[in-house]
A and B are shown apart, each in its own frame.
Chain A
Amino acid sequence: MRHNRAERMSEDDERQQSSPSDLEFTSNKARNCNATGSGSGHPEFQSPFPDQVLENVLENVLHFLTSRRDRNAASLVCKSWYRVEALTRSELFIGNCYAVSPDRATARFIRVRALHLKGKPRFADFNLMPPDWGAHFNPWALALAKAYPWLEKVYLKRMSVTDDDLATLAESFSGFKELVLVCCDGFGTSGLAIFVSKCRQLRVLDLIESEVTDDETDWISCFPEGESHLESLIFDCVECPINFEALERLVARSPSLKKLRLNRHVSIGQLYRLMIRAPQLTHLGTGSFSPLEVAGQGDQEPDYVTAFAACRSLVCLSGFREIIPDYLPAIYPVCSNLTSLNFSYANIDAEQLKPIISNCHKLQVFWVLDSICDEGLQAVAATCKELRELRVFPIDAREDSDGPVSEVGLQAISEGCRKLQSILYFCQRMTNAAVIAMSKNCPDLVVFRLCIMGRHRPDPVTGDPMDDGFGAIVMNCKKLTRLAVSGLLTDKAFDYIGRYGKLVRTLSVAFAGDSDMGLKYVLEGCPQLQKLEIRDSPFGDAALRSGLHHYYNMRFLWMSSCSLTRQGCQEIAHAMDRLVVEVIRSIGEEEMDDSVGTLYMYRSLEGPRTDAPKFVTIL
């Protein structure tokens, strides 16, 4: 029974917690466990093999369960259901690669076709963690190769993947179809070359925001000859030139290709050639969107508008890595069909945006740079009534830079885009009033991430902390599951979060709060909290202790540059044996320092990991 509880902890976390007593079954006769709960039945009504029939039925029924939360719940009903569920789970999601070992996972789930694995915590993206911390895909690759010869799909996020791992994937699974690497590193173009050359059934190769070293290998040429099954090829993050002729030939022989995202080494002229070969595309990343050389006056330029017009199925547009705004009008024909537009690498202003955005009536997802200013956001609000997700990135990501967007833009969006569900907004100034307005105008908000880039910045109009704004968000947005706070914040803000943020699963805190009470409010008040990442906030050991009742329900807790001591963390480690408590040292810190630079702790079935580098101490 304890085994089951522990298993439950490590699988997925985002579901209702049922109390352990649900698992009480005193009988060893699991085979008699009857799903309908009608007891052991009278002998004269028993058919020859009731349990087997039931298990077959169960297996067929459980095949229809796709959501991992439902599956986790089903696996808790009884041993029989547990077993059958394990047999029928084909998509395995592991939110923390260190929570469970590859061997344990492959032993329980024996018919997995798709693996979704996550490694480093998100703050590692911002240089808050030294490199080589871990999250190596290698032991998983080897375990998968042994256990799942029919594996088809691997999705990795923030993992370290080597060229050898890519080779393992390509060589071990004859039916391998999809590889998606998000925010990964450790491999290069040589690994890609081996991978694509050996994966004959490849349909999807998506490299998203990953670091790919340039080994000078022409990997595009390594796709096998003949018709390819490619449906999606995304390599906009690959920072090396590619063999364009080989790419053109590849696109020409990929009739199923729907998604193509090019890197910035593809010029607009080359883009044209690809587009006329693939008018069936639904998702396009345009590459640089500028010519190789500046076109002269009389030069004959391709008819870009016609090329875009021919792509009648295009719904998602991105790229524009080195945009020359003169070419923007080429995309007019597709604007009215677009549901997703990513301008977050395009340095354009409001005047350049307006003619585009005024046609994007169906737009649901919009990523953009703050170069469009509040005026640009007003234009978005005026047209994009279906907007669900908005991300506004800073063109100048420094604390003291000019801020082209402000509360004015946020207010406009809140008034125009009532169906908004997710927002990420970087700015230099923000008022409580605008945040409160958004909390009331956009009740469907699920994700609210506001980054006021100046640390500890109060409301510029009233001089108040930003407590009330974020308070309104948690109070009024009843579906909110993800929150990131910023600006000057006192413990009051956290009181609000603890009181009203009952569905919050992910919380990001930086340079906020006054005392331990802040963290206590959150740990005691938010029952759904899974992922808590905190930096540079005055929370100490007492606050840490207040979460003891909850840490097994969380995926992880990250606290860096707070007020924790080694003893405080040690206490937690002693109190909870299924928690791995890592103290990560930054450069210059001594091993026996009493204050803790970075604490990263997570539940795990495996105990301390064996691959920890020298700068990590596991308490």
Chain B
Amino acid sequence: MAFEKDLNLDATALRLGLPGTSEEQTSASGKSNKRALPDMNEESVSGDNSNVADARKCDQETAPPSKAQVVGWPPIRSYRKNCLQPKKTEAEAAGIYVKVSMDGAPYLRKIDLKVYKGYPELLKALEDMFKFKVGEYSEREGYNGSEFVPTYEDKDGDWMLVGDVPWEMFTNSCKRLRIMKGSEARGLGCVV
């Protein structure tokens, strides 16, 4: 893979996803403690591959595609599976968890933005979670037809309307979500 690294194709590639993640991961270079020759490691996202090299699995490109995973097999509790992500930096985090609050609801919730592919999915999930409906979204007018307006706080601390920026920009900059209600919402909805 040395030649690919020189051309730095990854850095200039157009794709969805956070900077620092690689979208394609063959089964052999999965998020594990794979034994691999040291110079094969650039593609791997996992933290430390400081193991002794093992020539057994060195041809990762020719590894067979992974079998479809069976439910509940191997029998490891999901808590344990989730905890065993190797040590990673924030940029490589497996999920983008943000808190969601709704005006008037007693409890906050947390969601993983990575799970959603775009705004429609996200909004549907929020609607299901808090049992409300957003109005029709238009770029000019914001959300029409409902007293609930989804907003988010971005990295600069500003409160923005959900949907105004492209999805990846949103997932990169969203710190928390708030579903506003009532007149406060209407005020924000008009700001584009």
A, B from the same assembly: yes
Q: Point out residues on A near B: beta carbons under 8 Å.
A: 123, 125-128, 183, 188, 190, 209, 211, 214-216, 237, 264, 290, 321-324, 344-345, 347, 349, 369, 371, 373, 393-402, 404, 426, 451, 453, 455, 508, 510-511, 535-536
Asked whether B83 is an interface residue with its Cβ less than 8 Å from the other chain, the reply is yes
Residues of A within 8 A of B35 (CB): 402, 404
A402–B51 Cα gap in the complex (Å)?
13
Choose among B47, B67, B86, B99 the residue that contacts A400 (Cβ–Cβ < 8 A).
B67
- B residues in contact (CB < 8 Å) with A: 27, 30-35, 47-48, 50-51, 57, 64, 66-67, 69-81, 83-84, 86-87, 99, 107-108, 110
Q: Contact between B71 and A127 (Cβ–Cβ < 8 Å)?
A: yes
CA distance A451 to B73 in the complex (A): 10
Contact present for A216 and B76 (CB under 8 Å): no
Report B11 CB to chain A, min CB distance, Å: 24
- Is the Cβ of A399 less than 8 Å from the Cβ of B69? yes
Task: Find chain B residues with CB under 8 A from A535 CB.
Answer: 72
Distance of B85 from chain A, by nearest CB (Å): 9
Complex CA–CA separation, A123 to B80 (angstroms): 15
13 A-B pairs whose Cβ atoms sit less than 8 Å apart in the complex: A126-B71, A127-B71, A127-B78, A324-B87, A345-B84, A393-B76, A397-B74, A397-B80, A397-B81, A399-B66, A402-B32, A404-B33, A536-B70
A395 touches B32 (CB 8 A): yes
Residue on A nearest B65 in the bound complex, by CB: A400
Knowing A126-B72, A396-B30, A401-B30, the reply to whether A347 touches B86 (Cβ < 8 A) is yes
Interface contact B87-A347, CB-CB below 8 Å: yes
Q: How many A-B residue pairs have CB under 8 A?
A: 107
Given A126-B77, A349-B50, A394-B76, are A190 and B107 neighbors across the interface (CB < 8 Å)?
yes
* Given contact pairs A126-B75, A209-B77, A401-B30, a sample of 7 additional A-B residue pairs in the complex whose CB atoms are under 8 Å apart: A125-B75, A190-B107, A397-B76, A401-B32, A451-B75, A453-B74, A511-B73
Check B76 against A215 for contact (C-beta < 8 Å). no
Q: Are A349 and B72 in contact (CB under 8 A)?
A: no
Given A126-B75, A237-B79, A347-B48; A396-B87 close (CB under 8 Å): no
Determine whether the beta carbon of B71 is less than 8 Å from that of A128.
yes
Contacts of A324 in B (CB 8 A): 87
Chain B residues near A396: list those with CB within 8 A: 30-33
Contact check, B71 vs A400: say whether CB atoms are below 8 A apart.
Answer: no
**CA–CA, A321 to B85, complex, Å?**
10
Residues of A within 8 A of B67 (CB): 399-400
Q: What chain A residues lie within 8 Å of B27 (beta carbons)?
A: 400
Q: When the two chains form their complex, are residues B77 and A125 in contact, meaning their CB atoms are under 8 A apart?
A: yes
Within 8 Å CB of B50, what residues of A? 349
CB distance A402 to B34 under 8 Å? yes
| A369/B69 in contact, CB under 8 A | no
Q: In chain B, what residue has the closest Cβ to A126?
A: B72
User: Which residues of chain A have C-beta atoms less than 8 A from B30's C-beta?
Assistant: 396, 398, 401
Give me the 9 closest cross-chain CB pairs, A-B, nearest first. Answer: A126-B72, A396-B32, A397-B76, A453-B74, A128-B72, A125-B77, A126-B75, A371-B33, A127-B72
Q: Are A510 and B75 in contact (CB under 8 A)?
A: yes
Do B74 and A345 have beta carbons less than 8 Å apart?
no
Known contacts A209-B79, A214-B110, A237-B79; is A398 also within 8 Å of B69 by CB? yes
**Which residues from chain B contact A126 at a C-beta distance below 8 Å?**
71-73, 75-77
Distance to closest chain B CB from A554 (angstroms)? 21
- In Å, the complex CA distance between A188 and B69 comes to 31
Complex Cα spacing A209 to B77, Å:
9
Closest to A369 in B: B84
CB contact under 8 A between A395 and B84, given known A215-B107, A400-B27, A402-B57: yes
What CA separation (Å) do A401 and B107 show in the bound complex?
40
CB-based nearest A residue for B80:
A393
Chain A nearest Cβ from B95, distance in angstroms = 12
Q: Does B71 contact A322, Cβ atoms closer than 8 Å?
A: no
A24 to nearest B CB, angstroms? 45
Q: Which residue of B lies closest to A323 (CB)?
A: B87
How distant is the Cα of A237 from the Cα of B78 in the complex, in angstroms?
A: 12
B49 to chain A, nearest CB (A): 10
Instruction: Give complex CA distance A209, B78 in Å.
Output: 10
Q: Which residues on the A side are within 8 Å of B83 (C-beta)?
A: 264, 321, 345
Instruction: Tell me which residues across on chain B come within 8 A of A402, comparing CB atoms.
Output: 32-35, 57
Q: Closest residue of chain B to A370, judged by CB?
A: B33
Closest Cβ neighbor of B88 among chain A residues = A322
- Minimum CB–CB distance from A409 to chain B (whole Å) comes to 15
Please give, as numbers and ranges, the residues of chain B lying within 8 Å of A290 by CB-CB distance.
Answer: 87
What residues of chain A lie closer than 8 Å to B75, measured between beta carbons?
Answer: 123, 125-126, 451, 508, 510
**Complex Cα–Cα for A290 and B110 (A):** 25
* Closest partner residue, chain A, to B68 (CB atom): A399
> Which residue of chain A has the shortest Cβ distance to B51 in the bound complex?
A349
Give, as a whole number of angstroms, the nearest-CB distance from B7 to chain A.
29
Complex Cα distance, B34 from A188, in Å, reads 37
Contact of B33 with A451 in the complex, beta carbons under 8 Å: no
A536 cross-chain contacts in B, Cβ below 8 A = 70
> A347, B84: Cβ atoms under 8 Å?
yes
Asked, given contacts A214-B110, A324-B87, A393-B80, whether A400 binds B74 with beta carbons under 8 Å apart, the answer is no
| B66 partner residues in chain A, CB cutoff 8 A | 398-400
> CA A396 – CA B51 in complex, angstroms?
15
A369 and B57 alpha carbons, distance in the complex (Å):
20
**Residue from A211, A369, A394, A453 having most chain B Cβ neighbours under 10 A:** A394
